[in-house]
Amino acid sequence: EAGVTQSPTHLIKTRGQQATLRCSPISGHTSVYWYQQALGLGLQFLLWYDEGEERNRGNFPPRFSGRQFPNYSSELNVNALELEDSALYLCAGARGTYEQYFGPGTRLTVT
Amino acid sequence: DQQVKQNSPSLSVQEGRISILNCDYTNSMFDYFLWYKKYPAEGPTFLISISSIKDKNEDGRFTVFLNKSAKHLSLHIVPSQPGDSAVYFCAASTWGGNQFYFGTGTSLTVIP
Taking the C-alpha atoms of residue A33 and residue B90, their distance in angstroms, rounded to an integer, is 16
Residue range B60-97, pLDDT digits in tens: 999 999 999 999 999 999 999 999 999 999 999 987 66
Instruction: Say if residue B111's pLDDT is above 90.
Output: yes
Q: CA-CA distance, A76 to A68, in Å (whole number)? A: 9
Quote the minimal CA–CA distance from A15 to chain B in Å: 25
Nearest residue in chain A measured CA to CA from B35: A99
β-pair type (A10-13, A106-110) = parallel
Inter-chain touch A90–B44, beta carbons under 8 Å: yes
Q: Which residues pair with B108 in a beta bridge?
A: B11, B86
Walk along chain A (111 residues) in steps of 10 and give the mean pLDDT of each run: 89 98 94 91 90 91 96 97 96 84 95 96
| Planar angle of CA A75, A81, A86, nearest 5 degrees | 80
pLDDT score at A1: 60
**pLDDT higher than 90, residue B108:** yes
* Domain extent at residue B30: 4-111
Alpha-carbon dihedral A15, A41, A90, A28, rounded to 10 degrees: -150
Residues on A contacting B at a C-beta cutoff of 8 Å: 4, 33, 35, 40-45, 48, 55-56, 58, 90, 92, 94, 97-105
pLDDT of res. B2 = 81
Tell me how far apart the alpha carbons of residues B72 and B69 are, in angstroms, rounded to a whole number: 8
In angstroms, the CA B83 to CA B101 distance is 26
CATH number of the CATH domain containing B59: 2.60.40.10
At B78 the pLDDT is: 97
Domains identified in chain B, total number: 1
Q: How confident is the model at residue B53 (pLDDT cuts 50, 70, 90)?
A: very high
Q: What is the DSSP letter of A83?
A: G
